Structure formats: structure tokens, C-alpha cells
Amino acid sequence: MIKNFRRKLFRSSFLALSIMLASCNAKAQKAKTAPKEFAVQKTEAEWKKILSPLAYHVLRKEGTEGAFTGKYYKHYKNGTYHCGACDAALYQSQHKYDSGSGWPSFDQAISNAIHYDVDYKIGHRRVELECARCGSHLGHVFEDGPQETTGKRHCINSAALNFKSSDKSQ
Ligand SMILES: [Zn+2]
């Protein structure tokens, strides 16, 4: 019994340590390798030139727009939400729902459209969502999404998105 318990304890502390090391590594690696990771590459000066000040702040400086202020918070038209920086298709309107959080919320993204990263900006671990094509910041994912689908809440800044309607009458 004791032996078993010890083994379990050892295993769980080893796991915790590996997770800690892995997250530290992920952070360090990001700083070192980020410029080579993404298919679309621009200098910060180039991004600044093509983006609005708010879009630049959110997409390139990991900023957050005010809750309930974004243009897509209460937006439920049919279509696709694209990256505001490089135009990659990221989210489909049928996966958007009202989370009451004040930001556009989706229970899932278009597959392979999102790059997941970790940040500690507000003191605790959060999973950051970036565009997989250009690395621009979109928002964060939380575990309080709709239970009947994925249980995930992709909390995205409107300023990071550009909506394209699929409705032909518009
Ligand atoms: Zn992008």
C-alpha cells in the first residue's frame, strides 16, 4: 500500500514538474522562435500601417477591447469571421453564441485555424488564441462554454475579426 502510494505521489509530482517545465519552455520558445513560426510575416511597422489603432493594439499587442463595446458582440448574421490581420477564416457563425461575457464567443473554431499558446499576463495561466497563419492575438479560451457542444468558450475580441456574410441577399 505504502509503496503504491509513494509511487503515485512520485508520479504526480513528476507530472506536475513536467507540466511546469513544459509551460516555461513554451514561453521561452515562443519568444525565440515566434518570427519563424507563422506563414504570414510582417514587421510591427508594416502591421501598424495596415491596421486601425484598436486592431493593432488587440492583434499585435495582445490588447483587449472593452466588454460590450465590440462590433460583433451582438452580431448573429450567417457567415465567416476572418482574422483582422491576415484574413484567414477562423470562425463560422453557426458556432457563435451569447455567453453574456461582453465579447463574441464561439464554442469551436475552424479546424487548424487557431494556434494555442499560454500566457500569464493577469497572474494566472490562460490559454491564448492566436491566428495560426499570422500569429496575431485573438483572445482566450475558457472551460465554461456550452456543455451540450464542446464546453469551450473562445472569447474573441471583435477588433481582431472581420466578418464576411454568406447571405447572398446582402
Ligand atoms: Zn491572421
The per-residue pLDDT for range 95-111, each reduced to its tens digit, is 999 999 999 999 999 99
Q: In which residue are the cell numbers 463574441 written?
A: 104
CA of 141 relative to ligand 1 center, distance in Å: 17
Q: What is the pLDDT of residue 27?
A: 44
Q: How far is CA 8 from CA 22, 138, 166, in A?
A: 21, 39, 54
Residues annotated catalytic, as ranges: 155
Q: Write the class of the CATH domain 39-165.
A: mainly beta
Task: Read off the C-alpha cell for 104.
Answer: 463574441
Task: Centre a 10 Å sphere on the Cβ of residue 3 and count the other Cβ atoms it contains.
Answer: 7
CA of 124 relative to ligand 1 center, distance in Å: 26
Residue ranges of the domains in the chain?
1-37, 39-165
Whether the predicted model's global pTM rises above the 0.75 cut = yes
- Alpha-carbon span 103 to 163, nearest angstrom: 15
- Alpha-carbon span 117 to 163, nearest angstrom: 24
CA of 158 relative to ligand 1 center, distance in Å: 14
Strands 96-97 and 105-106, sheet pairing: antiparallel
Q: Model confidence over 111-170: pLDDT tens digits?
A: 999 999 998 988 999 999 999 999 999 999 999 999 999 999 999 999 999 999 998 765
